[in-house]
Amino acid sequence: MSANRTTSPWAGKSILVVDDYPAIRRAIKEIVASLDLVVTEAENGIEAQKILASKPFDIVLTDLVMPEMDGFELAEALRSTPQFRRLPIVVISTHDDTKYIIRALRLGVDDYLIKPPTLDMVKVVLGRIFDYE
């Protein structure tokens, strides 16, 4: 007897997961892959920019605190580049302090998740972003 698998409404969407900790990237990748999103990983903002220059993505999920280029700098760089102005950016961070959230939102991120994410949290954010396209 086989279980019927339902396809996610976001199946096939591409997501770039940016975090300097491989274990966190792996955990996030498992969650979004379970929703049938195509996942690519980057360990910091510089690597993310190189990847974004080489192929299109439907969403970027980024940590804030990373070496070389953090999530704030990445968001600012993407929002100041015409081709990425409308690319959805979601921050995922352990920082739930209002000053971090406000700073990120002022830089133009679309949403903010607190680590560790759950499948339900990710579904809510994806719904907010993709269901309004």
pLDDT tens per residue, range 18-40:
999 999 999 999 999 999 999 99
3-class secondary-structure state, position 128? helix
Domains in the chain, number: 1
* Domain housing 22: 14-130
The pLDDT tens digits of the residues spanning 50-60 come to 999 999 999 99
Structural domain contains residue 91: yes
pTM of the model: 0.91
- Does some domain include residue 6? no
Is residue 16 within 8 Å of residue 105, measured between CB atoms?
A: no
> What does the alpha-carbon distance between residue 108 and residue 62 come to, in Å, rounded to a whole number?
13
Are the CB atoms for 61 and 18 separated by under 8 Å? yes
For 57-79, what is each residue's pLDDT tens digit?
999 999 999 999 999 999 999 99
